[in-house]
C-alpha cells in the first residue's frame, strides 16, 4: 500500500545542457495516463529553455503544497539527512538559506543548492 503522491509542478533546477538554473515543469502525461503515482514513481521534468527532460524519483521531490498549508520553515542542513529537489534549506554554519536545485547520485549522494548570497554549492546528503 502506498499513498498517492503529487510532486510540485514547477521547479528551478540546474540544467546540465543549459549549464545554468532554469525553470522546469512537470511532464503531466505521466500522471495522467491512469497510473497510480506514488513516492516510488519516477517523474519527468522538462527544462523550460532547452526542453530536455530530467528524471527524478518521487523520493527526491517536494510534494505539491496544498493551498491551505502554511509555508514550512527551511529544512536545516545536516550531511546525514535526505533533501528534496525544490526544498528550502538552511545552513546553520553559513547562516544562509537556499533552494535545492539538483542531485548527484553516489555514495554518499550530494545535492546542489542555490544559496541566496553565495550562489550554487554542492553539499553531501544521506551520509551514513
Torsion (CA) 49, 52, 54, 55 in degrees, nearest 10: 140
Binding-site member from 2, 28, 42, 49 for Zn ion (CB under 5 A): 49
Interaction of residue 18 with Zn ion, rule CB under 5 A: yes
Q: What is the dihedral of CA 122, 124, 126, 128, to 10 degrees?
A: 170
Return the residue of 8, 11, 13, 15 that touches Zn ion, per CB under 5 A: 15
- Among 4, 17, 53, 65, indicate the residue that binds Zn ion (CB under 5 A): 17
Output 15 or 89, the one with its CB closest to Zn ion.
15
Q: Which is nearer to Zn ion, 15 or 26 (CB)?
A: 15
Q: Which of 119, 109, 102, 121 is nearest to 15 (CA)?
A: 102
Amino acid at each position: 500500500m502506498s499513498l498517492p503522491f503529487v510532486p510540485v509542478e514547477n521547479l528551478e533546477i540546474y540544467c546540465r545542457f543549459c549549464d545554468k538554473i532554469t525553470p522546469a515543469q512537470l511532464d503531466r502525461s505521466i500522471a495522467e495516463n491512469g497510473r497510480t503515482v506514488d513516492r516510488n514513481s519516477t517523474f519527468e521534468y522538462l527544462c523550460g529553455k532547452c526542453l530536455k527532460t530530467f528524471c527524478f524519483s518521487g523520493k527526491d521531490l517536494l510534494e505539491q503544497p496544498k493551498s491551505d498549508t502554511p509555508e514550512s520553515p527551511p529544512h536545516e542542513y545536516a550531511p546525514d539527512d535526505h533533501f528534496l529537489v525544490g526544498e528550502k534549506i538552511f545552513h546553520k554554519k553559513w547562516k544562509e538559506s537556499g533552494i535545492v536545485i539538483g542531485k548527484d547520485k553516489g555514495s554518499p549522494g550530494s545535492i546542489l543548492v542555490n544559496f541566496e548570497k553565495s550562489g550554487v554549492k554542492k553539499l553531501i546528503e544521506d551520509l551514513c
